[in-house]
Amino acid sequence: MTSLADLRVIDAATLFAGPSAAMMLGDFGADVIKIEHPRRGDPSRGHGAAVDGVGLWWKTLSRNKRAAAVDLSREEGQEILRRLTDRSDVLIENFRPGTLERWNLDPAGLLARNPRLIVARMTGFGQFGPMAGRPGFGTLAEAMSGFAAMTGEPDGPPTLPPLALADGIAGLALSYAIMVALHARERTGRGQVIDMAIIEPILGLLGPQMSAYKALGVVPRRTGNRSNSNAPRNAYRTRDGRWLAISTSAQPIAERVVTLVGRPDLVEQPWFGSGAGRVQHVDELDAAVAGWIAERDAAEVIAAFEEAQAAVAPIHDVSDLAEDPQYAALGTFVEVPDPELGSVTMQNVVFRMSDTPGEIRWPGRPLGRDTDEVLGGLGYGGERITELREAGVIA
């Protein structure tokens, strides 16, 4: 049994944030219909690595989705979407503010036809404000949120992540917002509109930076791999050239680490009793830990930390992930059969549930693979579908 099998979700968003929220709903059984432009398709089809011209990012991002190609800028395409939302629970879209309204697909009109519909609007900057009409991507959110300003080496430039970080965070947040709206609908019987700006969810992961700024005037500074909150916390190189990450967020862990590396005297220092105090003496702490680790191979260091019940982990690249026994035990990566590529390896459903587990039923499909099936379910006959295809409204 899949927990969301009674839901129909229309994914009319592009690239990453909105589609990733739809993917997570699809992982737990929702019938997700992906709407793409019949000639251009979703831009994520062309992002990242590809095999024989088939994008691997697309295969993961659009898994468990039926693929329908409809031109929503055309009147006939707009009618298709209206008829779809009449029979759906959720519409996810990320067009610039005013676009749906210009296409006569405004949320108020869609809700008038289907009062139980949830319209989830994902944009860079939200539906109002001085920047609302601008194009927005996750990179801009990483810049505006303060993330880039506090990331990087102290004497280096602000650093942007090499991945769609803000989009991924916003996708998680939107899937949560949709579930909240669905739960509220159980009490009220009514759907609603969700307005989510990509620039906002990432703020929550950066801690109380605004609280500290308003109360104390603190502006976070770049610390490289160190932390403003606790020490020692860094990436340390072993004798055999491996890199290990260590965190001492909990006081007992910090005590175990410095004792293990031969400096139990540090525990007795008055400043050692708090993360903030240890940060003030980070150079001394890092020197002790780094020196001890540099004299030993990675396997020896990890074994010693495990015996001491201190926190350590190897810094993996993807080749290490493929061989890691913990990920193997969790079933984190799975081989999914695919008619285009034979099979695709991808990350599994992001969490496990004892009674209603999710599953990957199929990877992202070719453009327009399910258009005829989707339109047939709306009552369109074969002749009308052919006319719409010949007119370029669908593919």
User: What local confidence, expressed as pLDDT, does residue 2 receive?
Assistant: 79
Within a 13 Å sphere around the CA of 147, how many CA atoms are in the beta-carbon half?
22
Dihedral of CA atoms 260, 264, 269, 272 in degrees, nearest 10, equals 20
Q: What's the rounded Cα separation, in Å, for the pair 238 and 58?
A: 38
CB 288 within 8 A of CB 254: no
Query: Would you state the structure tokens that stand for residue 356, as one six-digit string?
Result: 């209603």
User: What local confidence, expressed as pLDDT, does residue 1 receive?
Assistant: 63
Name residues whose C-beta falls within 8 Å of residue 265's C-beta, 6 or more positions apart in sequence.
none
How high is the mean pLDDT of the chain? 96
Q: What's the rounded Cα separation, in Å, for the pair 133 and 123?
A: 9
Instruction: Please name the residue that has the structure tokens 């990453």.
Output: 16
Whether 167 is catalytic is yes
Q: Are strands 342-347 and 333-338 parallel, antiparallel or unpaired?
A: antiparallel
Q: Exposure pattern of 143-171 as b/e (b: 16+ CB <10 Å)?
A: ebbbbbbbbeeeeeeebbeeebbbbbbbb
CB 162 within 8 A of CB 53: no
Instruction: Please name the residue that has the structure tokens 């739809």.
Output: 22
Q: Cα 160 to the chain's mean position, in Å? A: 16
Residues of the chain with pLDDT under 50: none
What's the farthest any 2 CA atoms get from each other in the chain? 84
Q: 316 to each of 153, 238, 297, 306, 320, how far by Cα in Å?
A: 20, 14, 16, 18, 5
Ordered DSSP codes for 220-283: ----TTS-SS-SS-EEEE-TTS-EEEE---SHHHHHHHHHHTT-GGGGGSGGGGSHHHHHTTHH
Long-range residue pairs from 283-290, CB within 8 A, at least 24 positions apart, any chain: 285/231, 285/232, 285/258, 286/226, 286/231, 286/232, 286/234, 288/232, 288/258, 288/261, 288/262, 288/263, 289/232, 289/234, 289/236, 289/246, 289/257, 289/258, 289/261, 290/234, 290/236, 290/237
Q: Which listed residue (27, 71, 89, 167) is catalytic?
A: 167
45-55, pLDDT tens digit by residue?
999 999 999 99
Q: Is 270 exposed, middle or buried, given 0-12, 13-18 or 19+ CB atoms closer than 10 A?
A: exposed
DSSP state of 366: P
